[in-house]
Copies of this chain bind each other. A is one copy, B any other.
Amino acid sequence: MIGIFDSGVGGLTVVKEIFKYLPEYQIIYFGDTARLPYGTKGADFVKKYSEKITNWLLHKNVKIIVIACNTASAQAGEYIKNKHKEVPIFDMINFAAEEIVSKTKNKKIGIIGTPGTIKSNTWGKKLEKLDPSLKIYLKACPLFVPMVEMGFTKGKITEEIANEYLKKIKEKNIDVLVLACTHYPLLKKVIQEVMGNKVEIINPAESVAKHLKKYINNNPNLSKKIKKGTAHKFFFSDQPYDLKNISRLCFKKKIIPIINDPFI
């Protein structure tokens, strides 16, 4: 199985991309709805629970792990990868960053995410390492996650909040904008309208899914070990607030959640 974890339901946008590129493999998803959101919490807290979830997934016999949560990727990705060398771990930043660098022409890149992701500057550091001549503009958009979860994905109010958050980054004349939070792809249409058609909007999950496919295909031993099938399991540590809406937006159908908090 492929283990995928997130702070809540946003990681389902990552699952959507993984299903697109790797439809044959069975996944097990863990959304930490009891402790969400991670985006406004402390780095130590995010590290601690990312570690707990990783161990829980390993006990469930996953052969590869995807940290779907951008905040956990930014604040705990390297930490988890260093602690668990026994299993390949994909985060939302490393492979995606390489692809993003190849896409910018004017070398001006915008990154939007949760306060935790932006504060860590993991994206900035990674991109600058790949190409020191890049100009990176970061912006936290803390209201985007609750907006999506409360159903504000289009309409006047959504547009105004997007305008408010993006106006400064728009002035910078970037040509690539990275949606460094799992919820933001659900606002892509509004964000594209605000930024204009000349800005390419990137969802790192797509890049991660592509690389995941390549990695598994290049490792036949691993590929053989990962369970195949469609009996996917979606675990949540507390009843998700609006799973129906998000799963409809991602999969055009309902998913059956298993509610279980292993850390209480």
Contacts and interface: CB of A to CB of B under 8 A. Distances in A.
Interface residues of A, number: 28
Interface in A211-242: 238-239, 241
Contacts of A164: 157
A134 interface: no
A152 to B, nearest CB: 7
A48 B241 contact: no
Interface in A32-50: 33-35, 40-42, 45, 48
A117 to B, nearest CB: 14
Contact of A241 (B115, B145, B150): B115
A157 B161 contact: yes
A177 B51 CA distance: 45
A241 B146 CA distance: 15
B42 A238 contact: yes
A131 interface: no
Question: By CB atoms of chain B within 10 A, which of A35, A150, A152 has the most?
Answer: A150
Contact of A45 (B34, B142, B143, B160): B34
A199 interface: no
Nearest to A43: B239
Interface string A141-169: 01101110110100011001100100000
Nearest to A52: B264
Given A115-B241, A142-B146, 8 more contacts: A34-B41, A40-B149, A142-B149, A142-B150, A143-B147, A156-B160, A157-B164, A160-B160
Interface of A: 33-35, 40-42, 45, 48, 115, 142-143, 145-147, 149-150, 152, 156-157, 160-161, 164, 238-239, 241, 259, 261, 264
